[in-house]
């Protein structure tokens, strides 16, 4: 079993010894038990309040290096042509403290029929998909994770 207490960030040159694939919810946790892509058990003990970032390197207590990857998850992609509609949609999702990934007149959220109905009502087109969810980290968190 590997124990991880240290984050090396996104720009580590350390040679990788393994990979862990985490959902967006798992990347938000400071205490976590997962397995590497080869099945080795990993216990993660990190400070809370600073989500793990996709592409970040972690160092285990014994000096091994693990790369954080994003898991493929069900997603809803909402898009529109109008910046006004898009701005309203972002406002309403933010007002509900919804985790959202924002692009150029598109956004991604986890599936939620109530939110999907609201977005349709605001004039956005909804598509169900799967992919890695990398929501905005928030105004008061450290760092920005979009690539």
Could you please state the CATH topology (level 3) that the domain comprising 72-132 is classified under: Alpha-Beta Plaits (3.30.70)
- DSSP lists the bridge partners of residue 72 as 132
* pLDDT tens track for 35-70: 999 999 999 999 888 899 999 999 999 999 999 999
- Give the H/E segment covering residue 57: strand 57-60
For residue 9, pLDDT over 70 is answered with: yes
* pLDDT tens track for 55-110: 999 999 999 999 999 999 999 999 999 999 999 999 999 999 999 999 999 999 99
For residue 140, pLDDT over 70 is answered with: no
- Give the H/E segment covering residue 8: strand 2-9
What is the second-level CATH architecture of the domain 2-70? Sandwich (2.60)
Which tokens in the block code for residue 72? 């493929």
d(CA 55, CA 67): 6
37 and 49 in contact (C-beta within 8 Å)?
Answer: no
- Crossing angle of helices 113-121 and 83-95, in 10° steps, is 150
d(CA 20, CA 109): 23
| pLDDT recorded at residue 147 | 43
Sequence ranges of the domains in the chain: 2-70, 72-132
- DSSP lists the bridge partners of residue 57 as 9, 67
| pLDDT recorded at residue 10 | 94
| pLDDT recorded at residue 143 | 47
Strands ordered across the beta sheet of 2-9: 18-22, 65-70, 57-60, 2-9, 41-45, 31-35
55 and 147 in contact (C-beta within 8 Å)?
Answer: yes
């Amino acid at each position: 079993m590997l124990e991880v207490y240290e984050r090396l960030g996104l720009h580590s040159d350390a040679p990788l010894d393994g990979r862990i694939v985490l959902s967006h919810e798992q990347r938000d946790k400071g205490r976590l038990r997962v397995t590497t892509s080869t099945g080795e058990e990993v216990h993660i003990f990190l400070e809370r309040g600073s989500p793990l970032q996709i592409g970040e390197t972690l160092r285990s207590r014994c000096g091994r290096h693990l790369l954080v990857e994003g898991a493929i998850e069900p997603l809803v992609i909402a898009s529109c042509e109008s910046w006004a509609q898009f701005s309203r949609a972002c406002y309403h999702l933010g007002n509900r403290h919804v985790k959202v990934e924002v692009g150029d007149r598109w956004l991604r959220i986890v599936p939620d029929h109530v939110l999907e109905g609201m977005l349709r009502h605001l004039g956005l087109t909804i598509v169900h998909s799967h992919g890695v969810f990398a929501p905005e980290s928030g105004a008061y968190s450290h760092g920005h994770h979009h690539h």
